[in-house]
Amino acid sequence: MLLGGVEPVVREPRDELAAAPDIIGSDDGEEFSAFALSRWPGLVRLAFGLTGDRWTAEDIAQTALARAYVSWRRVSRADDPDAYLRRILVNASNGRFRRRRVTEEPGDPPEVAVEGPADLVGERAALLAALRQLPPRQRAVIVLRYWEDLTDAQIGAALGCSPGTVRSQLSRGLATLRVNPIFGAGDEA
């Protein structure tokens, strides 16, 4: 329909990606491709720790890379592009709570070979179940600390809070995990 002789433009998120080749040169595109391929496994692992669901984790990792692609020049010039990308991923993960469309139940953990005794699989499932019961910020702090091995300052930068807040959220999260009935009340974690 024409309004005043001008057809309205309807923009969708994928339009940004379609226009991105004009924004990013071919050399930058190759650089981004190499960056994305090398970061994909770590992004999915981090997103899985935040969500507890393999498929949601892959969706969030893909969303984070799509947003990084659109802003590639800014991301590549950042002091720490990995931290910038983690921040995008955490924001994308938090955004799913704002626009919840369908109630989803977390699925099974990814099918990853576990070295060691078979009971480690059960322990891993128990840990993931306990992590899903934590508030999002405590879960994010624990995953970033123990799965990604980040410092308080790096975690604070990724979550947009101070290192002191990181430490307090970590302390509260670990205390909650220690008394979780999944692990047995009062047992040392």
Same-domain pairing of 34 and 95: yes
pTM above 0.75, yes or no: no
Same-domain pairing of 150 and 179: yes
Report yes or no on 49 lying in a domain: yes
Report yes or no on 134 lying in a domain: yes
Span of 18-22, 66-70, 182-186 with lowest mean pLDDT: 18-22
Q: Angle CA(112)–CA(116)–CA(117) in degrees, nearest 5?
A: 105
Of 63, 72, 31, 30, nearest to 44 (Cα)? 63
* pLDDT computed for residue 29 by the predictor: 76
Report yes or no on 15 lying in a domain: no
Report yes or no on 91 lying in a domain: yes
Range 78-87 average pLDDT = 90
| Domain around 31 | 20-99
Same-domain pairing of 26 and 88: yes
Same-domain pairing of 53 and 89: yes
Report yes or no on 148 lying in a domain: yes
Q: pLDDT averaged over the chain?
A: 78
Of 124, 117, 154, 130, nearest to 45 (Cα)? 124
Q: Indicate the number of domains in the chain.
A: 2
Q: Inform me whether the pLDDT recorded for 139 exceeds 80.
A: yes
Q: How confident is the model at residue 44 (pLDDT cuts 50, 70, 90)?
A: very high
Same-domain pairing of 58 and 24: yes
Same-domain pairing of 75 and 32: yes
